[in-house]
């Protein structure tokens, strides 16, 4: 009942035209972030790109991969998702699982942990914590695949044959459901009620957050900074924050350690989302075309600073004769005010809060790896 219910809700929230906003730990990550992650992978002992390999290379998904070939030549977003997994693994790093592993290693077992728990610990990480890291990655991957569901009401001939687009939707539904069902099965096998409750609630948070994000990604939305932070935490921060807390629960740590782990995951997620949102504004040159979402932090902050009336005027000024937005001009308009600097300040704030939270754990190579990752999100 649980996997079916949440997968149905996630598909409802994620169904769209196919415009994908930058997600947490996306390909926009700068090189210093990639270096911090690569160094961290060495600490946990193996590349986390192999974390969910058992599931991704199963017979079921191998058959799905063959069927995805039918989408070649169309604009179905599932094709781009599959391509990114295969050809862009260097940038689309499975960092949620990596952070769960690093935090598990940094915290170590609780002083009150049983001898049985210590027996199942390898390189400072308990088997259940490694399983949790894999489950976290599977849940995230399931949502990415479900993002490949297209609203066929907005279908045009240029997208490709309608029957192929319908087929792509079916594949996105089935493969996403398969991943989510596997994650839920693994979650039940952890035999920890609190962990099940935490991760279950995180799935619900992601569904709600992405639904809110999709409804606010329009020219006319009046999202303020507080609402943006709430929506962003649900869609981009809840899964990592609650997975970090769950990792501490599995090692029998007390509530204080769990709270610090949750805080670290929350602020790291928020900081990186801000970093991702800022990249089109800090990396683009004058007149250069850039793609960004109306729910991106600099746009939301800019709109609140200039007011709704001025924002509407700016939108009209940057429209072409075809009544389409010139994103390069809109980007320049946003950069001309304080929305970008406000987003940068908030990014640094969350990065510093993540660094503060991780100090609660003993000094170690694993903690240093987490500190490097938290520092990297404040670099542009």
Q: Is residue 162 part of a domain?
A: yes
Q: Is the pTM of this model over 0.75?
A: yes
**Residue 15 belongs to some domain of the structure:** no
Instruction: Please say if the pLDDT value at position 50 is more than 50.
Output: no
Is residue 134 situated within a structural domain? yes
Q: Among candidates 352, 373, 284, which has minimal Cα distance to 36?
A: 373
Alpha-carbon span 104 to 251, nearest angstrom: 8
Instruction: Give domain status of residue 222, yes or no.
Output: yes
Cα angle at 18 between 313 and 307, to 5 degrees? 20
Please state, in angstroms and rounded to a whole number, the distance separating the CA atoms of residues 65 and 378: 37
Q: Please state which of the ranges 118-127, 219-228, 246-255, 324-333 shows the lowest mean pLDDT.
A: 219-228
Number of domains into which the chain is organized: 1
In a domain, 5, yes or no: no
Confidence of residue 245 (pLDDT cuts 50, 70, 90): very high
11 within a domain of the structure (yes/no): no
Q: Which of 174, 197, 172 is nearest to 187 (CA)?
A: 197
What CATH number corresponds to the domain at position 90?
A: 1.10.600.10
353 or 35: which leads in pLDDT: 353
Is the pLDDT confidence value at 21 over 50? no
The better pLDDT of the pair 315, 19 is held by 315
Mean pLDDT of the chain: 78
Task: Report pLDDT for 19.
Answer: 40
Of residues 175 and 288, which shows the higher confidence score? 175
pLDDT-derived band at 224 (thresholds 50, 70, 90) equals confident
> What is the domain extent for residue 217?
32-109+119-378
Separation between Cα atoms, residue 330 and residue 296, nearest integer Å: 13
Q: Can you tell me the distance from the alpha carbon of 357 to that of 257, in angstroms, rounded to the nearest whole number?
A: 10
Instruction: State the pLDDT at residue 323.
Output: 73
pLDDT for the residue numbered 221: 63
Rounded to an integer, the average pLDDT of 297-310 is 90
Highest average pLDDT, of 89-98, 152-161, 281-290, 317-326, comes from 317-326
Inside any domain, residue 132: yes
pLDDT value of residue 250: 93
Confirm whether 14 is domain-assigned: no
> How much of the chain, in percent, has pLDDT values that exceed 90?
34
pLDDT, tens digit, 9 for 90 and up, residues 272-297 = 999 999 988 887 655 555 677 888 89
Confidence class for position 28, pLDDT limits 50, 70, 90: very low
Measure the CA angle with vertex 327, ends 323 and 333; round to 5°.
105
Residue 48 vs residues 117, 263, 322: alpha-carbon distances, Å:
23, 23, 46
């Amino acid at each position: 009942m649980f996997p079916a219910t949440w997968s149905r809700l996630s598909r409802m929230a994620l169904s769209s035209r196919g415009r994908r906003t930058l997600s947490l730990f996306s390909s926009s990550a700068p090189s210093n972030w990639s270096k911090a992650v690569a160094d961290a992978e060495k600490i946990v002992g193996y590349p986390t790109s192999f974390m969910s390999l058992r599931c991704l290379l199963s017979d079921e998904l191998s058959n799905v991969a063959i069927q995805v070939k039918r989408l070649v030549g169309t604009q179905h977003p599932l094709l781009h998702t599959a391509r990114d997994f295969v050809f862009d693994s260097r940038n689309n790093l499975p960092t949620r699982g990596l952070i769960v592993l690093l935090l598990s290693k940094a915290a170590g077992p609780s002083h009150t942990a049983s001898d049985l728990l210590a027996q199942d610990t390898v390189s400072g990480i308990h088997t259940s914590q490694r399983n949790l890291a894999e489950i976290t990655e599977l849940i995230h991957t399931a949502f990415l695949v479900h993002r490949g569901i297209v609203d066929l009401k907005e279908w045009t001939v240029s997208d490709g044959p309608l029957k192929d687009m319908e087929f792509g939707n079916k594949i996105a539904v089935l493969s996403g459901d398969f991943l989510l069902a596997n994650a839920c099965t693994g979650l039940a096998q952890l035999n920890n009620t609190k962990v099940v409750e935490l991760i279950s609630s995180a799935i619900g948070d992601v569904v709600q957050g992405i639904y809110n994000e999709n409804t606010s990604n329009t020219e006319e939305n009046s999202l303020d900074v507080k609402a943006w932070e709430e929506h962003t935490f649900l869609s981009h921060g809840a899964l990592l924050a609650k997975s970090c807390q769950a990792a501490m629960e599995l090692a029998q740590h007390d509530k204080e350690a769990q709270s610090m782990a949750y805080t670290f995951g929350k602020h790291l997620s928020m900081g990186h989302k801000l970093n991702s949102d800022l990249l089109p504004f800090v990396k683009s040159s004058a007149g250069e075309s850039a793609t960004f979402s109306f729910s991106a932090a600099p746009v939301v902050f800019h709109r609140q600073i200039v007011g709704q009336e001025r924002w509407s005027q700016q939108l009209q000024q940057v429209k072409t004769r075809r009544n389409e937005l010139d994103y390069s001009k809109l980007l320049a308009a946003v950069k001309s005010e304080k929305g970008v600097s406000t987003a940068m300040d908030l990014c640094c704030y969350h990065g510093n809060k993540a660094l503060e939270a991780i100090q609660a754990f003993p000094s170690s190579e694993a903690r240093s790896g987490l500190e490097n990752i938290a520092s990297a999100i404040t670099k542009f």
